[in-house]
Amino acid sequence: MTELPVAHPIASPQPGAAEYPGLDAWRDLPVVQQPTWADSEVHRAAVAELSSLPPLVFAGEVDLLRQRLADAAEGKAFLLQGGDCAETFEGATADKISARVRTILQMAVVLTYGASLPVIKMGRMAGQFAKPRSSNDETREGVTLPAYRGDMVNGYEFTPESRAHNANRMVQAYHTSASTLNLIRAFTQGGFADLRLVHHWNKGFTANPAHSRYESLAREIDRAVKFMDACGADFDALKRVEFFASHEALVLDYERALTRIDSRTGLPYGTSGHFLWIGERTRQLDGAHVDFLSRIRNPIGVKLGPTSTADDALRLIDKLDPQREPGRLTFITRMGAGNIREKLPALVEKVTASGAKVLWVTDPMHGNTVTSPNGYKTRNFDDVIDEVRGFFEVHHALGTFPGGLHVEMTGDDVAECLGGADPIDQHAFLERYESVCDPRLNHMQSLEMAFLVAGALGKR
């Protein structure tokens, strides 16, 4: 087996290093999927700058999310987590951000109404700028360059300059996250997300069955709201929604530099996002990612793919949630439609038997990636749906709670995943494939998915 590299030490003192030296213990551990920054002076300056910038999210908000996730772990709420595979700096426009938020809100309305459960709304947004890759390089027409690792690390354009790893991009990722979060906060706190506007979030594609289903649901909600209004109800609760930010905690220089000691509790919090997760490729038990995330107070997730064993899951719980604190740990399973019914039961059974209260979430995207005949990375909507069904079936059979849905989606009318009620075929990819990484559900496929999950949840 090849030896894994260890992270290099950093000169500038990091926030909280004096109180919590363990926050830097990951630097001596094997670490995978890290950038190889070209210029060490630029790197040091970028890390120093990030260390002094204000937090993007606040410890109090992070604590609130942990409580909400604890509710979900107990079957009293449902987590909806969605957004791009890879956010880009160029894609952080008001139109695209608002379309994504609006689609998540629509999905949440469908789920809340269909299942009569509170829905925790969370974006893969405002920080999802780094990607693990299966290969370090990419070759096109005989030219080999470093693989694209997300805008936080390098550019998508296939030139040596663009593909070089540039630590200044971490600072740009911070600022793009800040402006994205600012817009999200304005939308969700400033009246835009008011349930009385439920009709206005819908748009276009009237021929699509999910469109008219949503329209009739919105009419029902409208009638209920008007009725309550006539009764003199107070609608303050409808005006604002809680919306949380999440991303894969991949580039540890970035995550470490944005760690802050909370003045109320004296504890370390990752302040780059409310919820941080460890990906399928970085969940090594003795690796740097698991160690670093074990030391911050945020609710955290771990992706579990088809090779995960029940023993892996139990050891991850011991490391990441030794106190067995509800809301602390979420397992996001991404087994593939063909595996979920076979692989998930043992994990859920053994974890449940251990007494741990984790939240189980399905990611029906990452185990179902295929290449279309015309060469695009895609997913069949039917496979995605089948994995969700399998997830519900397994939990139903075991009497455990299927607590959430994690999807790659967008509010735009892209063509990246095959199928759906108004089917996308591979020829549409030529015109409307926009993702720089994995294929996302488009606006209508996302709504269709929400109706399906609402049905499954409502039946419980």
Residues within the interface to ligand PEP (CB under 6 A): 85, 132, 248, 279-281, 303, 334, 366, 438
Minimum distance from residue 435 beta carbon to ligand PEP (Å):
11
Pairing type for strands 137-140 and 143-146 reads antiparallel
Smaller CB separation from Mn ion, 85 or 332 = 85
Q: Does 384 bind Mn ion (CB under 5 A)?
A: no
Helix axes 340-353, 310-320, angle to 10 degrees: 50
- Which tokens belong to 415? 């063509």
What span, in angstroms and rounded, lies between the C-alpha atoms of 414 and 405? 21
- For residue 377, give the 3-state DSSP assignment: strand
Neighbours of 398 (CB within 10 A): 14
Do 85 and 437 touch, CB atoms closer than 8 A? yes
Give, as ranges, the residues between 430 and 449 that touch Mn ion (CB under 5 A): 438
Smaller CB separation from ligand PEP, 268 or 279 = 279
Partners of 143 in beta bridges: 140
303 interface partner picked from ligand PEP, Mn ion, none, CB below 5 to 8 A per type:
ligand PEP
The closest residue (CB) to ligand PEP is: 279
Minimum distance from residue 308 beta carbon to ligand PEP (Å):
11
279 interface partner picked from Mn ion, ligand PEP, none, CB below 5 to 8 A per type:
ligand PEP
Contact code string over 50-89 relative to Mn ion, x by CB under 5 A: -----------------------------------x----
Q: Does 250 bind Mn ion (CB under 5 A)?
A: no
Do 171 and 49 touch, CB atoms closer than 8 A? yes
Angle value at C-alpha 88, between 193 and 168, nearest 5 degrees: 120
Q: Is 271 left (phi over 0), alpha (psi -120 to 50) or beta?
A: alpha
Smaller CB separation from ligand PEP, 208 or 378 = 378
Minimum distance from residue 372 beta carbon to ligand PEP (Å):
19
Smaller CB separation from Mn ion, 177 or 208 = 177
Smaller CB separation from Mn ion, 85 or 153 = 85
Smaller CB separation from ligand PEP, 63 or 87 = 87
CA dihedral 134, 135, 138, 144 (to 10 degrees): 180
Minimum distance from residue 143 beta carbon to ligand PEP (Å):
25
- The residue whose two tokens read 């309305």 is 109
Partners of 362 in beta bridges: 333, 405
Q: Does 416 bind Mn ion (CB under 5 A)?
A: no
